[in-house]
Amino acid sequence: MIVGIPKETFPGERRVALTPAVLPQLSKAGIEVLLEAGAGAAAGYPDALYTEKGARIAGTREEVFKTAEIIVQVRGYGANPDAGKSDLPLLRQGQTMVAMLEPLAEPELSKELSERGVTVFAMEMIPRITRAQSMDVLSSMATIAGYKAVLLAADALPKMFPMMMTAAGTISPARVFIIGAGVAGLQAIASAKRMGAVVHAYDVRPAVKEQVQSLGGKFVEIELDTSKTEDGGGYAKAMDEEAIRKQRELMTRVIAESDIVITTAAVPGKKAPVLVTREMVEGMKPGSVIVDLASEKGGNCELTESGQTVEHNGITIIGQANLPATIPFHGSQMYGKNVTTFLLHLVKEGQLIVDLEDEITSGTLVAKDGAVVHPMVRKALGLESDPTPERSNA
């Protein structure tokens, strides 16, 4: 079984899908790795490190696609719609793709992949169950984003984070407000707390209160009907407009008192909810900073511009996209470990086994045998029934 690793082509993407450290584990399972020359260089992994671990280096991208039975990428076509389109002619029937693909946000692109006869697995669709934790790329990348968000905020804030007793007087600690206490939010809380800030956090799910407090944060209590804020897979669900309106009103005071606001709220396949309005921004103190981790999905802040840092009334709003790519060494390490575990789950004795009775396999399988098969993606395409391929070797 040959797994091919092409160089990432999404603008600014510096990660690589597999790192040299995982190659021996794959080799034991009968998986050989073919790497496009220079694919890991931007992440700090030169070709020599791969060859030391048994990988072969391909001179061209075309060779990778022509030779490999499984193509593994960080951002496949659905998550790389412009540059990724040039890879479509390189894909062949019966080939398998494992990557982040945005299948709910870009279902038409998943359909294009299916029409090439490719078996498609979307890593962001990994179910959030205990057995799949080691494959959960969203959690891995959210950890990096939460950490980096605090660094960006600290750099932009014209204050220091910790309280200091100095000969020139006492410096008060910065006040940081984290909206959303998922993986990114919890990492942001921990990072801001380590730097000495006073940290408050809010999430529509009251169950995370103890997690916030365990990291040293203070949980902001906002009374809402939270019975429908989380789906069966552990992902946040969109709230209705009335709940969002009430949430905004009650957060206004906390935001006005904060030096930094970091927003992390996202709903898979949908536009990010606007939680920080223009009026809230204008109520903040000059010099305050907002870091919007949902900028790629439209942003949690009304004034966010994806990929840009803007200023409004003295408030800096950072909408930098794809934060995990800014820490590519560890981003690749974590993503590669997730993908390796997933590959070892699929490949048995050198054969790719697509077992739809397995929750992990069926939850991530987007397309097979020329058709989109994932129920949620089919629904996004307006298709009614979903063809269910039998357990098979791909």
136 catalytic per annotation: yes
What residues contact residue 242 under an 8 Å CB cut-off, 6+ apart? Answer: none
Q: Which residues are paired to 2 by β-bridges? A: 32
Question: Which residue among the candidates 136, 203, 259, 292 is catalytic per the annotation?
Answer: 136
Q: Which residues are paired to 62 by β-bridges? A: none
Question: Which residue among the candidates 56, 235, 248, 369 is catalytic per the annotation?
Answer: 235
Question: Which residue among the candidates 114, 139, 191, 288 is catalytic per the annotation?
Answer: 139
The answer to whether the CB of 165 falls within 8 A of the CB of 205 is no
- Both tokens of 338, joined, read 């997730």
* Chain centre to alpha carbon of residue 11: 16
If you search the block for the tokens 């990348």, which residue do you land on?
Answer: 141
The answer to whether the CB of 367 falls within 8 A of the CB of 120 is yes
3-class secondary structure, 299: coil
Distance CA 242, CA 232 (A): 23
Question: Which residue among the candidates 86, 92, 131, 133 is catalytic per the annotation?
Answer: 133
351 catalytic per annotation: no
93 catalytic per annotation: no
Question: Which residue among the candidates 25, 47, 128, 369 is catalytic per the annotation?
Answer: 128
Residue among 18, 29, 8 nearest 351 (CA) = 29
The answer to whether the CB of 130 falls within 8 A of the CB of 375 is no
3-class secondary structure, 165: strand
Q: Which residues are catalytic?
A: 128, 133, 136, 139, 235
